[in-house]
Structure 1
Amino acid sequence: MADEVRAGGRGAGARRDVVGGAAKVRGGWAGLLAAVPVLLLVGGVVLDVFGPVPYAGLPLLSASPLAACMVLAFRGAVITAAVACVLAVCVDVLVNRPLTAVVVNLLDVAVISVIALWLKWVVQRQGQRFAAVRAVAEVAQRAVLPLPPARVGAVSVATRYECADAEALVGGDFYAVRSTPFGVRALIGDVRGKGLTAVSTMAVATSAFREAAEQAATLRELAEHMDRALVRFVADVGDQPDALERFATAVLVEVSEEEGRVRLHHRGHPPPYLIRGGRVMSLEPAVPGLPLGLGLPEDAGVSGSDTFPFHQGDCLLLVTDGVTEARDRHGAYYEPCTRLAGRDVRTASEVVDTLVADVTHWTGGRRHDDMAILALAPVR
């Protein structure tokens, strides 16, 4: 399944995990990088003893603790710093330098070592705090935007969430899928803005959907319930500068297995795509609707539901504007209808995998907006 939440921009190749503030590279370069402090120590001794001028190797001895702090764990860096100090003294004694020179050279290496170790400790503490924050964020993300199962009722489900920020786990895009007495109902949407403000608004929208998906008789009633929830939320945070800008676009979906049809209710969101027999069709609404949470009268700009045939072999693809507004290096927008046409994709997960790979190729890996994808396909 392609239903994992990923932070965009993570490439293949050597994988780097930040541990204690140092980038520990796993792969063929690990041994070479770990040998750099040793090479600096050896080079410093050789230059200091056999070099053309006195103290030629002192810069290398001083640099070895700095290099160790970059490529080794904290204990290895401490050992390297201690060895550098001992070698500095031993070399000065070996070449019969005066006591003042021995002390000064030792202080040079020791001061640089202490500064390097202190910086490593600070970065290590920050790394530990960052890891703790990411762990909390991941738990919150799973609670706010849980991954749907691979199958809900008679519908196969595949999702993907990729944030424009490589360090983020979740943003303002959202989706949800529920099995209800009216059929399988699904939702995809996008909150205006980014950051914690968008996440909090997204949490209200998805919670309202899950709460009313099994009770609302129609998709329009379900959308109105979500709209009221967002309006109340805006009223609760009315003293904040961006309170009036907390709205969301959305498309609500209802798949009826008995009727072989899918109903769509649009609220200002990019239309879904129907993939059938290698063709990709954009399911435009008859009457476009306004986004949720604007607080307008219920009949203002509210569309009805559009119904389309939906049978075995079809796939409904819903995306956020991170897909439709993805641009290549020439500034051209990505167009799913043409880019996905003729592709040999048979399942919902294949559709999602193909779309993500194609968007990444189209943009060259550069993403300027979060991207959420939801694919639904009827199954027996």
Structure 2
Amino acid sequence: MDRLTARWSSARWLPLGLIVVAAIGDALTPIGYTWVPLIAAACVLAGVLMSFRGAAWTGAFALVVTVLLDWRVGIFYGGTGWVEEVTVLLAVLIGLDVHWMLARRDRRLAAAWSVAGALQRAVLPAPPTQVGPLRVAARYEAADAEARIGGDAYAIQDTPFGIRILIGDIRGKGIGAVSITTTLIGAFREAAHHTSSLEELAERLEQSLERDQAQHSHTSHDEEFTTALIAEIDHAGRTLRLLNRGHPAPYLIRSGRVIELLPAEPGLPLGMGDLISQPATTDTFPLVADDILLFVTDGVTEARDASGSFYDPTLLTLPDRRPATPAEVLDRLADAVYRWAGGRRDDDMATLAISLSKSDKPSRADASPSPRSPAHPFTPR
């Protein structure tokens, strides 16, 4: 009911309206018919829709109306009149008790949300807005507003090998996913500084998750796996290297166009790498001035409209006259997904947007390789 009154504030006046309608109806119908049950229902509804003081005053008004109606037909001193008045009085008390229980529930939920939010921020803190030459924006939205702990993860580290980015999606929710998220992010922050290749970094992450799974073999972790995308941008901001382990591909935003960076040979998620003998390979892409990289989880790519169609981030529209900032890209993406899904969100949605700082952007002449350079060619989807 809180959502109802927040969306339609006039709904708070519904109990008073019902009492007025009941009084008019009782006055216009024959004496053998009574509308007092509707007055009693309005008193209970007032406890849900109104404040405690509003519900109390509405109950007092309902009792006065009931007494006047009984007085009008001459049953005020009779058994029927006393039954109606006691019924309304009990309805008032029930409405006030309902209001008290809902208020107590709201206080408990607020406390739980606060704890869950603090835990989420501790496990998945917001990255800095500036990492080396990169400007960064991140957004995380849980699938359920009352369960703010999900299984999406992201992290960014400035290392001797370049600026490395991780975004992943843990299969599962709740505390179990939090445990795996903590292991994944901790392993990434440590291994990113000591592994020269993305393939070796992915192997280290997988080993960490396997050790965590072995330690919790008695829990539901036995069947967990994690999709992951590991990226590396050189400190000059000219080259992007990607290793995709079963995660949705990232997107390159260039000159207002959104281009999907599909892997040449996608790998299996972390935790399933031993199922194939050939490990995933790294793809290389060139970067130019004003490029923005967009990393998402499947909460974006699997958002469905009313017909069941998935959302395609390449449909995202951006400002035409000036380059968008990372924060603007995430705001427009969140709004587009919300409108596409009609306000429904069945999965967590983590998004990360990265661009070069203006003072550190390479020129297009320096950064653009030839069409058939060793850099992995990409084509708009």
d(CA) in 1 for partners of 2:92, 2:67? 15
| Alignment match, 1:58 | 36
Change (3 A) 1:269 1:25: closer
* 2:95 aligned to which of 110, 113, 116: 116
User: Contact 1:288/1:302 (CA < 8 Å) preserved in 2?
Assistant: no
Taking the aligned partners of 1:67 and 1:183, their CA distance within structure 2 comes to 61
Q: Give the aligned partner of residue 216 of structure 1.
A: 195
Query: Corresponding residue for 1:25?
Result: 6
User: In structure 1, what is the Cα distance between the partners aligned to 2:192 and 2:201?
Assistant: 6
Q: What's the counterpart of residue 139 of structure 1?
A: 118
Deviations 1:323-353 (A, max 9, x none): 333344444433334x248873533233323
Q: Check the 8 A contact 1:231/1:295 in 2, yes or no.
A: no
Alignment of 1:313-328 (within 5 A): 313-328=290-305
The 8 Å contact of residues 5 and 12 in structure 2, kept in 1 or not, is answered as no
Q: Which amino acid aligns with 1:160?
A: R
Alignment match, 2:105: 126
Distance 2:28 2:265 in 1: 85
Equivalent in the alignment of 1:165: 144
Q: Distance in 1 between matches of 2:43 and 2:317?
A: 57
Question: Structure 2 vs 1, CA of residues 280 and 35 (structure 1 numbering), >3 Å: closer, same or farther?
Answer: closer
Equivalence for 1:292: 270
Matches within 5 A, 1:162-311: 162-240=141-219, 242-258=220-236, 260-294=238-272, 296=274, 300-311=277-288
Residues 121 and 293 (structure 1), Cα distance of their counterparts in 2 relative to 1, 3 Å cut: same
Q: By how many angstroms is 1:138 displaced?
A: 0.9
Alignment partner of 2:48: what SS? helix
Helix, strand or coil: the match of 1:109? Answer: helix
Q: Which moved more, 1:93-102 or 1:179-188?
A: 93-102
CA distance 1:289–1:47, change in 2 (3 Å): closer
In structure 2, the partner of 1:7 is: none
Q: Give the drift of 1:145.
A: 1.4
Cα offset, 1:373, TM superposition = 1.6
Task: Check the 8 A contact 1:163/1:370 in 2, yes or no.
Answer: yes
Deviation readout 1:28-56 (Å, 9 max, x if unpaired):
x53x4444434444555566567532563
Q: 1:151 aligns with which of 123, 130, 134?
A: 130
One-letter amino acid matched to 1:313: D
Q: 1:181 to 1:129 in 2, by over 3 A?
A: same
Unaligned runs of 5+ in 2: 360-381
Q: Which residue of 2 aligns with 1:10?
A: none
- C-alpha displacement of 1:60: 4.1
Deviations 1:201-220 (A, max 9, x none): 22321222223333333333
Moved more, 170-179 or 76-85: 76-85
Shift of 1:142: 1.0
Structure 2 equivalent of residue 4 of structure 1: none
Q: 1:102 to 1:217 in 2, by over 3 A?
A: same
Is the CA contact (8 Å cut-off) linking 2:318 and 2:324 kept in structure 1? no
Output the CA distance in 1 between the equivalents of 2:52 and 2:68.
24
Please report how far the alpha carbon of residue 234 of structure 1 lies from its aligned counterpart in structure 2 after TM superposition: 0.9
Count of aligned pairs: 355
Of 45, 52, 63, the residue aligned with 1:67 is 45
- Hey, what's the Cα distance between the residues in 2 that align with 1:215 and 1:277? 36
Three-state SS of the structure 1 residue aligned to 2:288 is: coil
**1:189 Cα deviation (Å)?**
0.9
Within the alignment, does 1:357 sit opposite 2:335 as a pair? Answer: yes
CA distance in 2, matches of 1:105, 1:125: 30
- Report the more deviating stretch, 193-202 or 135-144: 193-202
SS of equivalent to 1:374? strand
Query: Residue 72 of structure 1: CA displacement?
Result: 1.0
**How much does 1:366 deviate?**
3.8
Q: Give the CA deviation at 1:311.
A: 2.9
Which consecutive unaligned segments of at least 5 residues does structure 1 have?
1-15
Q: Which residue identity does 2:195 align to in structure 1? A: A
Deviations 1:268-316 (A, max 9, x none): 222222222344433333443232234739x944334332222322122
Give, in whole Å, the separation in 2 of the partners of 1:346 and 1:77: 50
Determine which structure has greater relative contact order: mean sequence separation of CA pairs < 8 Å that are 6+ residues apart, divided by chain length.
1
More strand by share: 1
Q: Determine if contact 1:276/1:315 at 8 Å carries over to the other structure.
A: yes
Q: What's the TM-score once normalised by structure 2's chain length?
A: 0.80
Alignment correspondent of 1:12: none
1:104 deviation in Å? 1.7
Cα distance 1:352–1:107, how it changes in 2: closer, same or farther (>3 A)? same
Distance (whole Å) between structure 2 residues aligned to residue 291 and residue 80 of structure 1: 59
C-alpha RMSD of the superposition: 3.0
Q: Tell me the TM-score normalized by structure 1.
A: 0.81
